[in-house]
Structure 1
Amino acid sequence: MVIAIRKSDTKTDDNLVELSAADADEILETDVEVKLKWFNQPKGFGFVVPNDKDVDAFLHITTLQKAEIQNIGEGAVLICDIGYGSKGAMVRAVKAMLDAGLMPGENSEELVQKSGFNGMEGTVKWYKPDKGFGFVIPDDGKKDVFVHKTCLEKHDIDSLIPGQRIKMAVKDVPKGREAVTIELTGSNDTTVINFNPANSAE
């Protein structure tokens, strides 16, 4: 369900979403099923992705607190109201939590079982710390898997080097595949140690 909300409406109806001063108009979509992309607990915010849209919606910790949600993990599934305004998409309310996701201490295999993501191993192709992303060559022989720095940060990994062997949970995204969890296995593949990302088309 989609509702158009005007800033003036918020003055007369307490049931409408409270908008920030910068939002003159906002489109509110209610009862949207979303999956948590990532959430930084110390900083108090993260992003969710609606199942039917290629857009990230901002999620603040106070919105979770209002829904009395204390813990939330990678891949969590929520029912939310999302506002689309001049500053992008923002979760305005959390109605329910269908799945709490991957909690601290759980591994990639547990996330795969709970969320339906694909679990696999692979070899780091290249990673650019200055850019904050890289690619992994998956053992399944299919398209390389994109790895963003936020995935590393969640698992206290500073960087990756070519040839490192990893275990990961992978999700499908519009442009290919992306790692949502990553674990170092402690072994290396020397065949790609000297790989030069400048020569890669990725």
Structure 2
Amino acid sequence: MTEEDKAVQVVQGRVKWFDPAKGFGFIVSDSTTADILLHANVLRNFGQSSVADGTGITVRIQTTQRGVQAIEVVKIEPPEGSIIPLGEDAGVHSPEELLALPLEPARVKWFDKAKGFGFANVFGRPEDVFIHVEVLRVSGFADLASGEAVSLRVVEGRRGRMAVQVQSWESALRSHAHGGDENGAGDDE
């Protein structure tokens, strides 16, 4: 085992803040007294372009001359209640019914955080899927980039198809490959 291998450890924490425009953010963890730098490239390697403040996160870290840095995201755990019922607009669905919906592969058409919504296109379907910023936040995302690949749980609302959960494309693939359920409960390690 090299000195470098000894310095790498896996820690669990919470996202203190992450700014996609700046390209970095910080994680806090009981495992270290210093904040952990989370660079956008490390997050992108996991398959997400952003992460919401307060989201649970497991990372491999390394202490460098510049401080403690995440070198790999192992797992992202959206805040509790990661699916929100959308009331009458989406019909009445229990959380169990919503979690039983299939994950649909999609690409973000556009998302405007300031407006609080955006749209995605599910592969093989012509209509847009509406994505509300609250659905994004409870799914563990802070923002979405145009062209970003995601997986969506979708319901039919009065005004069309609406996302009730967003997952990164890579996260959904990892969950499926590791035999986890479609909620991302597979063993990611």
Using CA pairs below 8 Å that are at least 6 residues apart, which structure has the higher relative contact order?
Answer: 2
TM-score by length of 1: 0.38
The structure richer in strand per residue is 1
The structure having more radius of gyration, on CA atoms, is 1
TM-score by length of 2: 0.41
